Amino acid sequence: MSQLHVINHPMIQHKLTIMRKKETGPKDFRQLLNEIGLLMGYEVTRDLPLRDIEVETPICKTMGKEVNGRKMAIVPILRAGLGLVEGLQSLIPVAKVGHIGMYRDEETHQPVEYFCKLPEDIDDRLVIVTDPMLATGGSACDAIASLKKRGCTNIRLMCLVGVPEGVERVQAEHPDVDIYLAALDERLNENAYIVPGLGDAGDRIFGTK
């Protein structure tokens, strides 16, 4: 069964609260999302296996640790998922980045895939899918299904804010995918927006309406 990890580190909670404020503009919103992306990355990569490696310091030889050959990819769900990429990349500079474009139809709230460009060896990588919002869960589930169709077997989902409905849907459709959130909010409203949430993440990152 997929695990839900809600990362309630004080610095993440502090930054998320500023992001929720309606008066926070795109520049600060992007900056905070970037910082949270890096902080959440610590938890998403917490269990990566290490191996021993000998290194030579200016003083002597010693044993150190390195991440054991696990190749990684970051796959943002466009557009809003892009906001979490830079922070994660500064933590995992060798990760390749793929892109899956999805938008929610405004009437039906169903996700529509419009773009997919992934590293060739994506099936051989640990994939971190990023999207700030896990609402109905439709976009995340379809993006994960798209990755599985291309052979991915090791996928984690990193979002900022989710609701029980979205979490349950991902867990039902993709029980092998762990979910990482900074907050589990109350519910969806009649427009399938997260309450209290932070509004439309893509619009707030990119200054669109």
The minimum distance between CB 194 and ligand URA, in angstroms, equals 4
Bridge partner residues of 51 (DSSP)? 66
Annotated catalytic residue, options 108, 150, 153, 187: 108
Q: In terms of CB distance, is 12 or 198 closer to ligand URA? A: 198
Number of CB atoms found within 10 A of residue 82's CB: 20
**203 is an active site residue:** yes
Q: In terms of CB distance, is 76 or 197 closer to ligand URA? A: 197
Binding of residue 76 to ligand URA (CB under 6 A):
no
Structure tokens at 157: 């989902």
Binding of residue 40 to ligand URA (CB under 6 A):
no
SS3 content of the chain, % helix, strand, coil (to 5): 35, 30, 35
Binding mask 111-150 for ligand URA (x = CB under 6 A): ----------------------x-x---------------
The dihedrals phi and psi of 59, each to the nearest 5 degrees, come to -100, -45
Distance CA 83, CA 30 (A): 6
> Who's near 137: CB < 8 A, 6+ residues apart?
165, 166, 167, 168, 169, 170, 173
- Using CB under 6 A as the criterion, which residues of the chain lie in contact with ligand PRP when the complex forms? 77-80, 102-104, 109, 111, 131-140, 166, 192, 200-202
- Using CB under 6 A as the criterion, which residues of the chain lie in contact with ligand URA when the complex forms? 80, 133, 135, 193-194, 197, 200-202
